Every structure is written in C-alpha cells, then in structure tokens.
Amino acid sequence: MGRLKGKIAIVTGAGSGLGKAISETFAAEGARVVLTDIEIDAAKQVAERIGANAIALEQDVVDEARWDKIFAETAGAFGTPHILVNNAGLVLPGTIEDCSFELFRKQTSIMLDGVFLGCRSAVRAMKSNDQPSSIINLSSMAALQGYSPFVAYSAAKGGVRSMTKSVALHCKEQDYPIRCNSLHPAGIDTPMVRQESVGAGGGETPATGMIKIGELGHPNDVAALCVYLASDESRFMTAGEYPVDNGVLYKPA
C-alpha cells in the first residue's frame, strides 16, 4: 500500500469496467484521483465510494477545450497531475465490408482522437513536474493481431499503440520527466468485453473464446499493472507495450 502516495491521477472512462478498477486501486495505493466520464453519475458513485481523495468530472474525450479544463480543475482540486490513464472507449462491431464510414469515424474519434488530446494536454501540463510522471494508454490485443469483426476498433487501437511510442520518444528527446506506455488487454471481464463478444456476431475474438471456457480475467489484473507503470518503480520503462491476456497472443495455431 502507498505505492502512489503523493501522486495525482486522472483516469478517463472511470465510471465502470477497467476505469473504475484502476481508479479504486490507485486510491488504495495512496493517489488522489480525478475520475472522468461522459456518464457522470456513474463516475460520481465511484468517487463517492473512494472518499475524500477522489472527485468526478464530466468529460467527452473528443471535446478539445474540455481537456484543458479537466487539467485546470484537477490542478485546482489537488495540484498538477502526475498520471494520466487514457481508458475511455466503446466497441462498435463492423467488418471491412459492412462498417459504415460514420461508424468508423465515431469509433476512431473516441478511441484515437481522444487519446491524442489527452496525451497532448498531459505532456503540456506535466513536462515541468518535479517528480516522475506517467501516461498509460489502454490499447487492446486488437492492436497486435486485429479482430475481423471490429475493423474500426482495431484501427483505433493500432493507432494508440503507435502514438504511445511517439509520445514516449518525444518526452525522452525533450528530457521531460514523463514516461508513456500502452496496455493491451484481452478477455478481461468488463461490460465492454461482454458487449464485444455479442457484437462479434459469430466471429471469433479472444473474448469470445475465453468466455466460452470461463477464463476471463478480472479488471484488477489490469489495474495492478497500471499501478506499477504509474509508480516510480517503473522509472526505466517507456515506449513499452504490455499484453494482459493470459497468453492469448502467443497461443499455438
């Protein structure tokens, strides 16, 4: 306990699923946490359960101006943040043949544009921090191998994977005290993963197979790695990509 003592974190999409687990675990490790979500009532409920070291703010991650306000409100409540977790997202099914351009743009706007805006605001705010800082981007196994029933989702998560490395290298080149890494979960038991399995429409994803055999991971499996990457324990780790998938990526053909 206390591995994040003195740290201030922003977690997007914090009202449920991975964002909820990450926020609760960060707080348990001593961080003060700002939970953002477009579904503000859900985020408020989580923040209230955490207590005095958490606040909830409403946020649409594709609203550029709102990002500046999120960082300003965080600074006003707790101080300049040291940690950003870009977690907000959604799953919209569609193969390359039946995915509309409108659906593609909606998916990539939230899951790629939103991460870009978050990373940009975080670097601008945290580059002058007097202690190590960390950006953690939630990507997916889809970024590493693709999911045919989710072409837009796979494209967005692939973009997050590459952008993470670009952000990390920029911060290193500029000698900023900021690390940036991506996580690539598969088959974690969250509402979005359950939705992904239904949306596959008979297509196979890591989640559908893992649900069939009762092998889903827990959101805390991802939250635990987030704590490590947010803490100073991982001070020598940046531009990395970390699967959290129980070996799905490397399963035999």
Which residues is 9 bridged to in the sheet?
Answer: 33, 83
Residue 242 among the catalytic residues: no
Other Cβ atoms closer than 10 A to 148 = 12
Enumerate residues 6+ apart whose C-beta is below 8 A from 8: 31, 32, 33, 34, 74, 78, 79, 80, 81, 82, 83
Computed on alpha carbons and rounded to an integer, the radius of gyration of the chain in Å comes to 17
Residue 79 dihedral angles phi and psi, to the nearest 5°: 125, 175
In this structure, what token pair is assigned to residue 135?
A: 């950006």
Catalytic residue among 153, 228, 242, 250: 153
**Token pair listed for 113:** 């544009």
Is the sign of the CA dihedral 119, 122, 126, 131 positive or negative? negative
- CA dist list (Å): 138 to 33, 44, 75, 243: 17, 22, 23, 10
Q: Rounded distance, CA 40 to CA 44, Å?
A: 6
| Active site (catalytic) residues | 153
